[in-house]
Amino acid sequence: MRIATFTSEGHRKVGLVSADGKTVTPLELTQGQADSGVLTLIESLAEGGSLPEAAGPPVNLIDVVLDAPLPKPRRNLWCVGRNYHAHAKELAASVFKDNAAKTDDWPIVFTKVPECVVGPHDDVLVPSEVSTQIDYEAELAVVIGKGGKNITRAAAMSHVFGYTVVNDVTARDVQMRHGQWDLGKSFDTFCPMGPWIVTADEFDGTKTRVRCWVNGELRQDGPTENMIFDIPTLIETISRGITLYPGDVIATGTPAGVGMGMSPPRYLCAGDVVRVEIDRLGAIENKFV
Ligand code: MG
């Protein structure tokens, strides 16, 4: 299933996207439930509930506004730094080389605040008064279904509800200045997400590729097989002593090709359009303003 959160006739709704990607069928949820996007559905399905009935006929996707599938995740998004071999290599040769972790035994994990999530076609606000080094990071994001703590690698995939696309937008100067990365990653609108969640029965995050274009120029094109720490390892690591909940998001890191990794670095400016696409999952495209 592809489950989308969208706004139609002034109301937020949650629905199933058709196989041809042309229509979405709204599901029977209260307005309060729909306002939290797919979260209510994830929580109820994780507890063995069933899919709600259709709330009406399919509507054309071009007639609705797609929102982020989780417009405001229940808490900070978990994010993984330096998780593709080729990206680790480009960082080692960049201005960032002294800021990366000193060990390859454990993944770098940081968070972004939930309020920075915006929809798949929303504008990203460039905080020009704070940063002159805005960068893109195309990423595959895992959405947790059944929660748990101390989840083993072997059990990890049974805790995945589905997958979505995010752009882990980053202010590099702020990221490097503060030691911790959260400030440089959490500016308002710095996490475009969408266009929907593809459920884990149809897609498992392997054998796909993550691509990113800036103003139509291909900048990133990385196979997810190039990840240093795979999805089961990330779930096992993050859930060590920490309970994961239904609807938690784990952004799995970005492939090579970020603006900071270029020589000289190429950062984003107002007017730029960034498209992130993951094969068999979907695409998001956002203008920076
Ligand atoms: Mg990232």
CATH 3.90.850.10 domain locations along the chain: 77-287
Determine the distance separating the centroid of ligand 1 and the alpha carbon of 7, expressed in angstroms: 28
Determine the distance separating the centroid of ligand 1 and the alpha carbon of 80, expressed in angstroms: 6
Output the pLDDT for position 99: 66
Q: Coil, helix or strand for 112?
A: strand
CA distance 174 to 183: 7
Tokens 């009406």, residue located: 56
Determine the distance separating the centroid of ligand 1 and the alpha carbon of 175, expressed in angstroms: 11
CATH 3.10.330 domain locations along the chain: 2-66
Q: Coil, helix or strand for 261?
A: helix
Determine the distance separating the centroid of ligand 1 and the alpha carbon of 79, expressed in angstroms: 6
Write the DSSP assignment of 190-236 as a string of letters.
-EEEEEEEEETTT--SSS-EEEEEETTEEEEEEEGGGBSS-HHHHHH
Report the run of H or E that residue 275 belongs to, with start and end: strand 273-278
CA distance 86 to 255: 7
Taking domain 2-66, whether its CATH number is 1.10.3470 is answered by no
Give me the sheet containing 209-214, strands edge to edge: 217-223, 209-214, 273-278, 282-287
Contact, 13 vs 54, CB < 8 A? no
Determine the distance separating the centroid of ligand 1 and the alpha carbon of 8, expressed in angstroms: 31
Determine the distance separating the centroid of ligand 1 and the alpha carbon of 48, expressed in angstroms: 32
Contact, 217 vs 9, CB < 8 A? no
CB-based neighbours (< 5 A) of ligand 1, an ion: 137, 168, 254
Output the pLDDT for position 238: 98
Determine the distance separating the centroid of ligand 1 and the alpha carbon of 253, expressed in angstroms: 5
CA distance 260 to 263: 8
Determine the distance separating the centroid of ligand 1 and the alpha carbon of 139, expressed in angstroms: 7
CA distance 137 to 80: 11
Tell me the Ramachandran region of residue 81: left when phi exceeds 0, alpha when psi lies from -120 to 50, beta otherwise. Answer: beta
CA distance 28 to 196: 18
Output the pLDDT for position 26: 98
- The per-residue pLDDT string of the chain (289 residues; one tens digit each, 9 = 90 and over) reads 999 999 999 999 999 999 999 999 999 999 999 999 999 999 999 999 999 999 999 999 999 999 999 999 999 999 999 999 988 888 888 777 766 555 678 999 999 999 999 999 999 999 999 999 999 999 999 999 999 999 999 999 999 999 999 999 999 999 999 989 999 999 999 999 999 999 999 999 999 999 999 999 999 999 999 999 999 999 999 999 999 999 999 999 999 999 999 999 999 999 999 999 999 999 999 999 9
Determine the distance separating the centroid of ligand 1 and the alpha carbon of 254, expressed in angstroms: 5
CA distance 214 to 89: 21
Taking the model in full, what pTM does it have?
0.96
Other Cβ atoms closer than 10 A to 212 = 24
Determine the distance separating the centroid of ligand 1 and the alpha carbon of 255, expressed in angstroms: 9
Q: In the chain, what's the furthest Cα-to-Cα distance? A: 55
Q: Coil, helix or strand for 166?
A: strand
Output the pLDDT for position 103: 62
Determine the distance separating the centroid of ligand 1 and the alpha carbon of 90, expressed in angstroms: 14
Determine the distance separating the centroid of ligand 1 and the alpha carbon of 3, expressed in angstroms: 24
Dig out the tokens for 227 from the structure. 């990840």
Determine the distance separating the centroid of ligand 1 and the alpha carbon of 106, expressed in angstroms: 16
Q: 77-287, what's its fold?
A: Fumarylacetoacetate hydrolase; domain 2 (3.90.850)
Q: What are the C-alpha distances in Å from 284 to residues 53, 68, 236, 272? A: 28, 10, 28, 14
Determine the distance separating the centroid of ligand 1 and the alpha carbon of 110, expressed in angstroms: 9
Determine the distance separating the centroid of ligand 1 and the alpha carbon of 177, expressed in angstroms: 17
Output the pLDDT for position 100: 59
